[in-house]
Amino acid sequence: MTTAQATEAELAAAAQAGDADAFALLAERFRAQLQLHCYRMLGSREDAEDLVQETLLRAWSKRATYAGRSTFRAWLYGIATNACIDILRQRSKRVLPPDIAAAADPAVPPQPAADLPWLEPYPDTLLDQAAAELEPESAAITRETTELAFLAAIQHLPPRQRAVLILRDVMDWPAKQVASALETTVASVNSALQRAHATMAGHLPASDHASRSARSVTEHERALLDGMIAAWERADASALAALLHEDARLVMPPTASWYDGRAAIAAFFAGYAFGPNSAGRFRALPTAANRQPALAVYMSAPGGGERKPFALIVLRVTGQAIAEMTLFGKPGLFRPWGLPAAL
């Protein structure tokens, strides 16, 4: 039997004995799902990548402590969770503009970029990799547990409540297993979960069941996405507004400015985003993030020429229209999506 064919138990035993190759092979089997877990905890893809590396370093140094009472995967998850808790205790929570400012007046220029710990999107390609490692029916890969609204709500939880919610509700771990991983009691786990549910209820937006349980972009969402791409490429504020719910929101990290309602969003695009010479400056490609439809927008200089990355826009759809547009403008954001550097 080759190392690649070895079972988890056989590889774990070899790793405990000091076989670095066996440990590396075993760790790779869980890398994508560990990164998704750390992303949920931290709200940042880059931080999640770093924490996976930290998790594997900790696991290798503690390999002799693996007693086989749980799966090696569960043991790694416990190490990853505690590493994330350590980081969260040292850092501010990830935010979106509505967390820190009131809705902006579309007649006033948007605020400049702010250096804050903004919540970040997650490529669907990485979610697909995690899905390949998890059970097909796993709640860990549904939109309900990956969409930006869920991630934004989680940020309002203290570190241990956040960990308990993810391990109990997303990973479907028994309370006893969570208590063991976090070195606490079952009663404490149950109490933390109850408090987490109360907080989440106050921050999660209403959404229909069909969208919450979806695992990929639906045909209706693709139609709205196509309409959004066409509106951007024509720089047509009216066409864009027609795709929105009346109470839709537009948020645009890294600026704290955000706009509440279809009328305010239309006024912002007509007055600032889509100027009189904007037609033809934008091109957009369809993509997906957090199991939600998204578009990658490129923009040329006023005189024309090559179009450079401008923004990744993630759409939240409820019913027949777009309920929220989250426009991320962080430099270098397109790379994890495998998008072109320019058009």
Mean pLDDT for the stretch of residues 117-137: 87
> Pick from 60, 91, 122: which residue ends a domain?
91
Which range, 70-74, 119-123, 328-332, is most confident?
Answer: 119-123
Q: 244-275, pLDDT tens digit by residue?
A: 999 999 999 999 999 999 999 999 999 888 97
Residue 120 has pLDDT above 60, yes or no: yes
Query: Which of these three, 51, 74, 91, is where a domain ends?
Result: 91
Tell me the average pLDDT across 140-150: 86
CB 36 within 8 A of CB 140: yes
Average pLDDT, the chain: 90
The pLDDT of residue 208: 55
Both 217 and 72 in one domain: the answer is: no
Q: Per the domain annotation, does 171 fall within a domain? A: no
Say whether both 73 and 213 belong to one domain: no
Q: Whole-model pTM?
A: 0.92
Domain boundary among 91, 118, 148: 91
Per-residue H/E/C for the chain: CCHHHCCHHHHHHHHHCCCHHHHHHHHHCCHHHHHHHHHHHHCCHHHHHHHHHHHHHHHHHCHHHCCCCCCHHHHHHHHHHHHHHHHHCCCCCCECHHHCCCCCCCCCCCCCECCCCECCCCEHHHHHHHHHHCCCCCHHHCHHHCCHHHHHHHCCCCHHHHHHHHHHHHCCCCHHHHHHHHCCCHHHHHHHHHHHHHHHHCCCCCCCHHHHHCCCCCHHHHHHHHHHHHHHHHCCHHHHHCCEEEEEEEECCCECCEEECHHHHHHHHHHHHCCCCCCCCEEEEEEEECCEEEEEEEEEECCEEEEEEEEEEEEEEECCEEEEEEEECCCCCCHHHCCCCCC
Q: Sign of torsion, CA 97 100 101 102?
A: positive
Residues 207 and 282 occupy one common structural domain: yes
In a domain, 9, yes or no: yes
Where residue 1 falls among pLDDT bands split at 50, 70, 90?
Answer: very low
Asked whether residue 195 is assigned to any structural domain, the reply reads no
Domain of residue 83: give its range: 1-91
Residue 103 has pLDDT above 60, yes or no: yes
- Are 122 and 226 found together in one domain? yes
Residue keyed to tokens 């809705």: 103
| Per-residue pLDDT tens over the stretch 288-313 | 999 999 999 999 987 778 999 999 99
Is residue 233 located within the same domain as residue 271? Answer: yes
Clarify whether residues 84 and 133 are in a common domain. Answer: no
Co-location of 15 and 38 in the same domain: yes
CATH code for the domain in which residue 40 is found:
1.10.1740.10
> Is the pLDDT score of 213 beyond 60?
no
| Adjacent-strand bridge partners of 296 | 285, 312
Query: What is the rounded average pLDDT of the residues 62-71?
Result: 80
Whether residues 249 and 330 share a domain: the answer is: yes
Both tokens assigned to 52: 């996976």
- Of residues 3 and 188, the one with the higher pLDDT is 188
CATH number, position 305 = 3.10.450.50
